[in-house]
Amino acid sequence: MTDEERQDASRDAPPNAATPPPAAPPRITSTLLVAVALAGALALLAVAGPAVSRGAGSWADGLVGVGTGELERLRSVHGPPAEEDAARVTAAAADFGEGADLEVAVLRGHAAATFVPMVFRSLGDGRIEPDPAWVEAHIVEAEVPLLEGTVRCHERLVPQLAGALGELEERGLGDLIDPEQYGGCWVPRHILGDAGRALSLHAWGLAVDLNVDDNPYGAEPVLDPRVVETFERWGFAWGGHWRTPDGMHFELLELRDAPREPGH
Ligand SMILES: [Zn+2]
């Protein structure tokens, strides 16, 4: 599979794409939800400052992603550079050249504040060109169990990816991952390759596609539940749970040093 095919294979629409936000769990009252939403908005304002306006995927959209267990999914929002991005943009502009139309992406959700914002320019076809300095600083090449060659991912994803795959190998479940069907990790593009959408977590190197031929976007996933369970304990969210399933897709949900205990 070529890199180009890998990019095409990987879709990763968000679970709420073209659908309303998930219904609140029955135990949570609407009052509490409003309080949570308000608290989130206030926290966001406190962090980002009122001057920030983030184009596609406004900050209000960030509140829609709540709902994977108790953790808010990571998601990328972006827009024109804000005042506090000035130094980052100036540094990136030296690499991009004069007149480049630069945007800044930030992550929202669990542990989002630990990820450095990314300056990028859209290439107009759904792909983006990230600031080379950001790539140099955060995207690494690594060998991980069960996959052939190397993967290119965000440095923060690698230990958990290696952990999940290593655990499958140790438990004798390595055959459940087909190295021939590895679909890639860091792929600088928008969700669904659609320039009108937010950046994919693949653009951050924070998502990985496995067994892609068996689990095409939108089809009922055929991934073994033990794979899913293992990745979830290592801090990943699985696209196969989404309303439009993306069974090949695992993305970082939670930064962890070690997996949760089975059953938790
Ligand atoms: Zn994916």
Q: Please tell me the chain's helix, strand, coil percentages from 3-state DSSP, rounded to the nearest 5.
A: 35, 20, 45
Distance 184 CA to ligand 1 centre (A): 8
At residue 30, the pLDDT reads 47
State the pTM of this model: 0.76
One-letter identity of residue 240? G
Length of the chain counted residue by residue: 264
- Write the CATH number for 51: 3.30.1380
Crossing angle between the packed helical segments 158-170 and 225-233, to the nearest 10 degrees: 140
CB 230 within 8 A of CB 164: yes
**What range defines the domain where residue 3 resides?**
1-75+138-264
Is the residue at 106 inside a domain?
A: no
Rounded Cα distance between 24 and 45, Å, is: 24
- Residues with Cβ–ion distance below 5 A, ligand 1: 10, 12, 207, 209, 249
SS3 of residue 107 by DSSP? strand
Distance 216 CA to ligand 1 centre (A): 10
At residue 71, the pLDDT reads 87
Is the residue at 94 inside a domain?
A: no
Distance 3 CA to ligand 1 centre (A): 14
At residue 154, the pLDDT reads 98
SS3 of residue 237 by DSSP? strand
Is the residue at 71 inside a domain?
A: yes
At residue 19, the pLDDT reads 42
Residue ranges of the chain with per-residue pLDDT less than 50: 1-5, 7-9, 16-36, 38, 40-68
Rounded Cα distance between 142 and 4, Å, is: 20
Distance 60 CA to ligand 1 centre (A): 24
At residue 146, the pLDDT reads 98
